[in-house]
Structure 1
Amino acid sequence: MIRVIDPFAVERPLWLGLDDAGHRRKVFKVVDEHLQASEFLTSGLTIFEPGEASSLHNHPESEEINFIVRGSGEVVAGDGERTPFGTHTFMFIPKGVKHQHINTGREPLWLVFVYGPHGRLPTS
């Protein structure tokens, strides 16, 4: 069955990084094995306010694709390499690669993530 999903209609968006200054962001997870009975994929929308970032994290067994709906920022690799990105760009992150998304712009950053197979979202 095909489903059209409104990420803003999600009952309980997640706030991640509330205990770590600068790592706060809101996650609207819309697809995973529980929400849509997806066999392989986890997906959603993350919104970072200006200056906010994810923690440096990885998905040990999952490849990840990101699409930037709006905003700009940098993705930081585990070795510290920083790569800028902007609106309407994609990122591919191989499984197990540590990465951090940072909103370096002056407007909210909207990042769509898709990874598979299933894995856990970072907790901070």
Structure 2
Amino acid sequence: MATILLATDGSEDARQAASEAIDLAEEREATLHVICVVDKRRFGDPALSSAELATIYAEDHAELCVADVVAMAADRPVTVEGDTRHGIPHEVILDYAEEVDADTIVVGDRGDHAEHFSGVGRTVRERTDRDVIVVEAGA
């Protein structure tokens, strides 16, 4: 069975990428894996400081991003599995793609963390032989 990996950050571009990934998963009768990465460069591990609240917020946001994609696919014949992880986005995405043996990786062109996320698709594409679809804004 085919496997598609969607990387999301909850942005409008990521939602557009999610829509395309859901369509692709349905077309290919593939399992759709969804990953949202809490960028450790912005949010470290929780500690007893004000940074803890920001990290907890980022973790909650990541879980909501995954849940949003699951909800988007609820009326479709698509199996969706989601996860959130901490790390550097492109590294986590590539590791997760390996873990689930993804045939295709789908990411949005720009995201909420534009200083990091906009380069994620390019970086992932450069570092893998897997098919990578970068969904452009407004596409």
* TM-score, normalised with respect to structure 1: 0.28
